[in-house]
Amino acid sequence: MLNDKEIYENGTEVLIFKYIPSWGVNQDTDNYKKGIIIKSEESHDLSYHGSPWYVTNYTVLGDDGNTYFGNYKEPTLGNSFFMTKEDYINFLKRKIKYNKERIILLEDKNKKIIEKVKRLKKSQD
């Protein structure tokens, strides 16, 4: 299984996600295009001071014929970021798990609110 520490080879199929810097960590991970990696290269040193920090930049040819530039999973440079189908499926599974946990919390909150409403109605009588 590939992970974000490995360099993906040319010819690897990936999903292309648009990177919008002003959105910060809240990138659109619902909409994607398919593409093939055609080039990979190490970035320049991205650290401002201290230990050097490098990422691998990828150039991907999209199914739409356009070329996209960016990083794997976590956008730092370029107009896009990429994931393999396998990693995207794992991302979606984590999202489902998180949503289920939130639903349970909201149901618990609703139970408490319902009880409060019942108590208030009872005290009106």
Distance CA 85, CA 13 (A): 8
Give the type of residue at 34. K
Domain count, the chain: 2
Let me know whether 43 and 54 are in one domain. yes
R_g (Cα) of the chain, nearest Å:
22
In a domain, 2, yes or no: no
Q: For residue 34, what are the domain limits? A: 7-83
Distance CA(14)–CA(82), nearest Å, equals 6
Residues 119 and 62 placed together within one structural domain of the fold: no
Least Cα distance to 14 among 88, 64, 65 occurs for: 88
Token digits for 85? 């189908």
Q: Which two tokens stand for residue 44?
A: 């320049």
Residue-wise pLDDT tens digits, 64-99: 999 999 988 877 778 899 999 999 999 999 999 999
Please indicate, yes or no, whether residues 75 and 91 belong to a single structural domain of this protein: no
pLDDT, tens digit (0-9, with 9 covering 90-100), for 3-50: 445 788 999 999 999 988 777 777 888 999 999 999 988 776 666 677
